[in-house]
Chain A
Amino acid sequence: MNKFFKVAMLSSVAALTLGTVAQAQETVVWWDFLSGGDGVRMKALIERFNTEHEGEIVIQPTTLEWGTPFYTRVQTAAAIGEGPDVMTYHLSRVPLGVESGAIAQLDPADLESVGLTADTFAAANWEAGQIDGNQYAVPFDIHSIILYYNKDKLEEAGLLGEDGLPTGLDGADNFMAALEKLQPNSEYALSLQTSGDGTPWRVFYSLFNQAGGTFLGEDGTFFPDESIPAAVQTVETMASWVEGGYAPRLTEYEGSVALFTSGAAALHMNGVWEVPTMTDLAASGELGFEWGAIAIPTFFDQTATWADSHGFAIPNNAGREMTPEKKAAVLEVISWMNQNSLSWAEAGHIPAYAPTRESEEFRTMQPNATYSVLADTAVFDPKSVLAGVASPVYDAVANYISPAMNGEMSADEAIEEMKADLQDQAD
């Protein structure tokens, strides 16, 4: 009996000591929606963070499904105080996140204490995390769409300049002429997703901004009258690629990537996040051609490219006040991730944090360095609860712009109906 008592005493002392040790180490519960090449690189970053902060902070990561499932989960979890301590968040989703009360406001003083200030980010990027001047998310990267190219095919068509980069692609007419030159030695001159949302939205928004269009007016009007011609012109340009047989009809995302990686297409418009796909295939010798990537050409009057950001946000956990220790740990996570975002750039993204973006290592990282100029003219999604990743605007693209690209409705009709639809949902 006595012996039993001793053992019990000892083990409870041991448990207490262990408990204290565990308490000194702050656990940060982390949610993200990153899969594929992004997921692999983020897991590596988190592991590095945990090793470097051994005994102080440990990140407990969970990956959830991208899009509506992720954001619904965050909103419901936050409402009952069961959300994570920190999570990745698309800056384009901040308006809806704030309106639905899912994300908490960040204190500028807190951010400044770990070196995160407005001047360490591109202005448009930093502001994309704000609503009415209050900060709700800290940018982590800028991701956009770029033009992937098959160097061999471009060379054959005489579209490579002396610097080895594609030339003669700027201007809608020149681009069309280039497609004509590329078509004979490819199944498709240009592969891009032509069904559903995603790429169609990103390409549309880029070209529409290049034509000087306004998607959402100050007064809350979608496609103000003076912007309708630009919108129609953009859709007509996109439709002409499919109509001429240069781009594949009704093709989904995966199919559009496969057309390029298999060498069937000379050009490919897609997000920077496919860079690892190309790098890995080229490294294993499975690609079979030399590839490169440049910023989307300027089709119309000015340079502009759609962009979004992965950022960090803290959920508005109802009834759960964050302890100062926890808050400090979370801030450290956000700041550390930004300082170490160079390895995140290997996933194709452009680091949001200026010191990383301007570092020598990033400026020599290819192909990112070639297309990172797009950050200067990047246009972020309109600030509206109807816009952003997996939003009604994305749905509207699947319902009107993609069908117009495939000739199922005219460009006029598509813009007119899209305007009516979005306006109807806004009012």
Chain B
Amino acid sequence: MIRNHRREVVAAYLFILPFVLSYGVLFFWPTLQMIYLSFTDAPLIGPGQWIGLENYIEMFDDRRFWTAVRNTSYFVALTVIPNTLIGLAIAMMVSRLKGWQQSVILAMFFLPYILPVSVVYRIWNWMFNVQFGIMQYPLTWIFGEPTPVFRVQWMFMPTVAFVTIWWTCGFNILLFLAGLRSIPSDIYEAAALDNANRWTIFRRITWPLIWPVTALVLTIQLILQLKIFDQVYLFVQGGRPDPSMVMVQYIYNMAFQRNEGGYAAAIAVALFAIVIVFSVLQFQLLRSRGEK
């Protein structure tokens, strides 16, 4: 059969055209615009003068920028690995359940994930409330007095990280569960025949075979948590915004409160670069480890 190569190519382009167009208009073009904006002194709305690298030079001198970078890194450290490990642990427990029990328990763990962030904020702000919050019972037992966790600086980030893990863990559990199910059961049977103990089974079979999923979850988590904004923004209301400022929050402040669109774009480009570098690095690193 003679295939009309040209016609096939045309058809292929026609099929991908809607995607390419919408991707170009909605993602690629705005990204280019953002990079361009970062070299200008534009306000929030409208164009600005080309000022070259000035925004970037200013950024390196800006202590709030570095606070934001530090806090974002701290938050990533507090959430990415713990969230992944907790997700794996719960998934392994859930996978031991059978039938409707598994469905019910899984649904319960997944429930927080479908909540909007504002609801999550309401729930936990209430639970941690100094006067009426249920969490004040354990907190009073530990610290000897009711503790406003979102107002005490060193407790702020860990508490927000805790709430974030509670909120987003469900999705990781789901991914891990899918991964666990894809491990053939005869491997486990063979190991059981060889009298391998539970720890050995986990270390020699489950962990290596689940590794691709773990790498995926870690990468998704890293990108997601680098972009942390809503939880910090909501929980800091009525407190001290600066010491716990994260990068996206700083972009928001600069653009919407300070009317400095150009400078905000420069910070956004910096965040963009950090996300790309770290996620590519991490994924390569994790993949190469998995291949050994």
Contact = CB atoms under 8 A, between A and B. Distances in A.
A171 B281 CA distance: 64
B28 interface: no
B238 A196 contact: yes
The range of chain B's interface size is: 20 to 34
Contacts of A399: 240-243
Interface in A235-273: 250, 252-253, 255
A267 to B, nearest CB: 21
Contact of A398 (B45, B62, B240): B240
A360 to B, nearest CB: 41
Interface stretch (B6-14, B184-192, B251-259): B251-259
B289 interface: no
B128 to A, nearest CB: 13
Nearest to B242: A399
Contacts of B258: 392, 425
A392 B260 CA distance: 13
A258 to B, nearest CB: 9
Taking chain A's interface residues, is the majority helix, strand, or loop, or is none over half, making it mixed?
helix
Interface string A69-86: 000100110010000000
B151 A250 contact: yes
A385 B257 CA distance: 10
A68 B256 contact: yes
A68 B259 contact: no
Interface string A368-393: 00000000000000000100001110
A100 interface: yes
Contacts of A425: 258
B240 A390 contact: no
A139 interface: no
Given A250-B151, A424-B62, 15 more contacts: A68-B257, A75-B45, A79-B45, A79-B46, A100-B259, A195-B238, A196-B237, A196-B239, A196-B240, A255-B131, A390-B257, A392-B257, A399-B240, A399-B241, A408-B153
22 contacts: A68-B257, A72-B256, A75-B44, A75-B45, A75-B259, A100-B44, A100-B45, A101-B43, A101-B46, A195-B238, A195-B239, A196-B240, A250-B151, A385-B259, A391-B257, A392-B258, A395-B241, A395-B242, A398-B239, A398-B241, A408-B153, A425-B258
